[in-house]
């Protein structure tokens, strides 16, 4: 059998792969801490996220998302007496694993917002709460946390997604999703879709939703 001499580049890839496999095995316990309605993160980024006192913490999940990213999700809800979610606060810390040095986060949204002195990409939407999702997705994990605590999502929700990319490499991100039950608007997700009968109402609903999201979530950076 002909021997092939590995160069430095191949050796580095092999080491990164082994490190990544080890990291995947370790991705189990959430790293950030929660006290009441406050999430404290010591790295990536080092911040404190404060939510309204009316929010209820339903837990966290940490897993290797599609075996390419270390994903840590924390969820809070506000509900009515029937345990149907009225508001959802979804906080997620995510970074690509060393085994995939080729991957970088990309967002094409032209909308941005500033929260706690940090810049975020902004996206909004209205969707059925049970819309199909890819197996193993972060959406699937979030829904699992909600169900595990005996809560139910409403028929449709309207959401704001805020994404902050760390460093120029764009391999780490902080994602905050704020969602509300859509029913108080009197419309369904189909009504507000691009071809829906009430699409002309979406800009006003969108604007008010973003305002509430930025008002409900507070970010405090050290120093």
What is the 3 state secondary structure string of 68-112?
Answer: CEEEEEEEEEEECCCCEEEEEEEEEEEEECCCCCCCCCCCCCCCE
Residue 2, domain member (yes or no):
no
Domain coverage including residue 197: 8-220
Strand partners, 13: none
Structure tokens at 221: 């950076």
Across 117-144, average pLDDT: 97
Residue 44, domain member (yes or no):
yes
Residue 3, domain member (yes or no):
no
Query: Is the distance from CB of 212 to CB of 51 less than 8 angstroms?
Result: no
Residue 46, domain member (yes or no):
yes
Residue 20, domain member (yes or no):
yes
Q: Total domain count for the chain?
A: 1
The string of pLDDT tens digits covering residues 34-74 is: 999 999 999 999 999 999 999 999 999 999 999 999 999 99
The string of pLDDT tens digits covering residues 85-129 is: 999 999 999 999 999 999 999 998 999 999 999 999 999 999 999
Q: Which residues contact 97 (CB under 8 A, 6 or more apart)?
A: 20, 23, 24, 64, 67, 68, 69, 70
Give the model's confidence band at 23: pLDDT under 50 very low, under 70 low, under 90 confident, else very high: low
Phi-psi region of 83 (alpha: psi -120 to 50; beta: other; left: phi over 0): left
Residue 1, domain member (yes or no):
no
Residue 208, domain member (yes or no):
yes
> Is the predicted pLDDT of residue 10 greater than 60, yes or no?
no
For residue 14, the SS3 value is helix
Residue 184, domain member (yes or no):
yes
> Is the predicted pLDDT of residue 27 greater than 70, yes or no?
no
**Alpha-carbon distance 183 to 157, whole Å?**
8
Give the model's confidence band at 2: pLDDT under 50 very low, under 70 low, under 90 confident, else very high: very low
């Amino acid at each position: 059998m002909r021997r092939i001499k590995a160069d430095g580049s191949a050796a580095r890839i092999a080491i990164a792969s082994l490190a990544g496999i080890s990291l995947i095995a370790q991705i189990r316990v959430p790293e950030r801490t929660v006290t009441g309605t406050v999430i404290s993160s010591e790295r990536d980024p080092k911040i404190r996220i404060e939510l309204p006192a009316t929010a209820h913490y339903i837990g966290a999940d940490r897993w290797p998302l599609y075996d390419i990213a270390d994903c840590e999700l924390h969820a809070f809800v506000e509900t009515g007496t029937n345990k149907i979610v009225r508001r959802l606060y979804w906080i997620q810390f995510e970074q690509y694993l060393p085994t995939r040095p080729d991957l970088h986060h990309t967002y094409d949204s032209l909308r941005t917002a500033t929260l706690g002195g940090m810049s975020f990409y902004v996206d909004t939407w209205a969707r059925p709460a049970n819309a199909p999702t890819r197996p193993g997705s972060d959406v699937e994990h979030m829904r699992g946390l909600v169900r595990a605590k005996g809560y139910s999502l409403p028929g449709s929700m309207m959401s704001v997604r805020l994404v902050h990319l760390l460093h120029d490499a764009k391999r780490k991100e902080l994602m905050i999703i704020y969602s509300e039950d859509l029913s108080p608007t009197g419309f369904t997700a189909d009504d507000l879709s691009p071809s829906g009968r009430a699409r002309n109402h979406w800009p006003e609903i969108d604007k008010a939703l973003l305002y509430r999201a930025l008002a409900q979530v507070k970010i405090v950076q050290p120093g």
